[in-house]
Chain A
Amino acid sequence: MLLSVENVTKAFGRNIAVDNVSFALDRPMFLGIIGRSGAGKSTFLRMVNRLTDATAGRILFEGRDILALRGAAMRTWQAHCAMIFQQFNLVPRLDVVSNVLHGTLNRRSTLATALNLWPRDDILKAIDILDRLGIAEQAPKRAEALSGGQQQRVAIARALMQDPKIILADEPIASLDPMNAQIVMDTLRRIHEEDGRTVIANLHTLDTARRYCDRVIGMRAGRIVFDGLPEQLTTGAARDIYGADDSFSESATSTAIEALPRDDQYAKAMLA
């Protein structure tokens, strides 16, 4: 078994964010986790990356419980398990290549980092990764000078620099326009297909999940309420996941522009 999640729970005080979650991946795949805000998707990914501690449960990766790791072993696991954030989480004032080189920090000493000494091979590798993602031209620019879509691709390049066994993406396209969202999702899918890396992406739109994922898990109020193939994700299943009534329209969870109906009645009611 590649990844096996066993009864993982996270409580913040009396509030239970992730409630007894269990599932397993037997081979590398593109897994999507969907659900509305506050369903526990982010908390779950943060526990896998060890940014947040779990309250109970085990997560076995290649047979090893990564929730039990401490200190240097935990940081080594973090290096093998890359995270991509909704807000990119780059260092805005540093240049693009430096941000990508941060992917190697786990094997760099404090002194070498302070003196800004990066091996020539790593620098060339970082530029090659940027080229693979189509943004090599931006290499010397400051990260903050880039558009959102470009910044997210720098974040993906940083993740690839880690040479990770698994890539976690927490709402990677929620801050992007539809065009850039498609580029970023295509990039993640390509990384999965070309490198055979496992990608787990939190998504909040059904159409993205259907289009890119090999398997979809639906979460609601911290629990898994759906686990299956994207084809099995019917409107009824989506209603369960999003906790909506019969008026639920799938287009309300879509990022595509044409999917959103113009609601003239709503506008008229507001202006009356």
Chain B
Amino acid sequence: MADIAASPGPAALDRVRRDYLAHARQRRLYSGLLLALFVALMIVGFQIAEGRNAGGFRSGLPQILDFPANVVSEAWRDRAQLPGHMLRVLPALVETVNIAAVSTLIGALAGLILSLFATRGLAPAPWLIPVVRRLSDFLRAVPEIVVALVLIYILGGGPVPAMIAIALHTAGAMTKLFSEVAENADLKPVEGLQSVGARWSQRMMLGVLPQVAPNYLSYAVLRFEINVRASAILGFVGAGGIGYELRNAMTFGIGRFDEAAAIFVLLFLTIVVFDQGSSWLRNRLVAGGHP
């Protein structure tokens, strides 16, 4: 039988022990300091926020449930009218979902192409990578609501400014997420296609996209959910859709909360439907159509 291995000898073993224990002590010290720093920052931050708060966190705490309680109690009182309200705001919901769908589609397509330019190993030219990444940072840094307000000022109110604003933000976010997925893609198929003389677009289409498609799809669908909410919020500033209805119901206050409740329920159901649909779609894609 083979000799297991040469033992390092007692002196060397002592050194291994000493070094590892010192290393462990040091790591423990660092994580202790980090934990203390984290706790201190949380306390200080909370105190500063409390000082700047107009009402005060502790004094406001008991009232935190007042608004939901109002909405729920009124909605319960007028529950007979909920289906009617839902039916009335349904066209507005369709408009909101449409804004989200178009902007997700355009943003994800732009993100798909930009992500390939922003990924090491895939980009056709290395200088493109930082350029596209900064572009994506910029698109993500500007709040949708600011873009939407500027566009509404130029183009007038309606769904198109909201769509453009959300699509721009989606393109930036998708570029980042897609490129992180593409970074982990296996380059061997790409090299195989390169070896037969395929052009860049063909290598990406056949070598990269089949690998990343399931992840891309699930990110795009998650983004669609986020965009439904974003487009509802943009309705508050005059982009139409269900957000406009929600603002009206909420600002007119007591007496119309049943309408607000109907809109909340409708939004929740929409998100549930798309969440279920997207996981079904993703499973199908991953399993290749076999259940």
Contacts and interface: CB of A to CB of B under 8 A. Distances in A.
A259 interface: no
Interface string B5-35: 1111000110011011101100110010000
A127 interface: yes
B1 interface: yes
Nearest to A120: B21
A117 B25 CA distance: 10
B4 A140 contact: no
Interface stretch (A130-138, A223-231, A238-246): A130-138
B4 A139 contact: no
Nearest to A133: B4
A260 interface: no
A183 B4 contact: yes
A25 B251 CA distance: 79
A142 B177 CA distance: 29
Nearest to B1: A186
Contact of B6 (A120, A134, A139, A190): A134
B80 interface: no
B19 A140 contact: yes
A134 B20 contact: no
Nearest to A185: B1
A135 B5 contact: yes
The residue among A123, A136, A189, A190 with the most chain B CB atoms within 10 A of its own CB is A136
A140 B17 CA distance: 10
A250 B267 CA distance: 68
Nearest to B2: A182
Contacts of A137: 8, 12, 16
Nearest to B17: A127
A186 B16 contact: no
Contacts, number: 56
Interface residues of B, number: 19
Contacts of A97: 20
A115 interface: yes
A116 interface: yes
Interface in A85-99: 97
B8 to A, nearest CB: 6
B99 to A, nearest CB: 43
Contact of B7 (A117, A131, A189): A131
B28 A117 contact: yes
Interface in A152-176: none
A140 B23 contact: yes
B17 A134 contact: no
A20 interface: no
Contacts of B20: 97, 123, 127, 139-140
B1 A134 contact: no
A127 to B, nearest CB: 5
A179 B2 CA distance: 9
A145 to B, nearest CB: 15
A116 B7 contact: no
Contact of A115 (B19, B21, B23, B31): B31
A169 to B, nearest CB: 17
Contacts of B23: 140
A165 B193 CA distance: 54
Given A116-B28, A133-B4, A182-B2, A124 B12 contact: no
Given A115-B31, A179-B2, 14 more contacts: A116-B28, A123-B24, A127-B17, A131-B7, A131-B16, A133-B5, A134-B4, A134-B5, A137-B12, A137-B16, A139-B16, A139-B20, A183-B4, A190-B4
Q: Which 7 A-B pairs have the closest CB atoms?
A: A134-B5, A134-B4, A186-B1, A182-B2, A136-B16, A139-B16, A139-B20
26 contacts: A115-B28, A116-B27, A116-B31, A117-B28, A120-B21, A123-B20, A123-B21, A127-B16, A127-B17, A131-B7, A131-B16, A133-B4, A134-B4, A134-B7, A135-B5, A136-B8, A136-B16, A139-B19, A139-B20, A140-B16, A183-B2, A183-B5, A186-B1, A186-B2, A187-B4, A190-B4
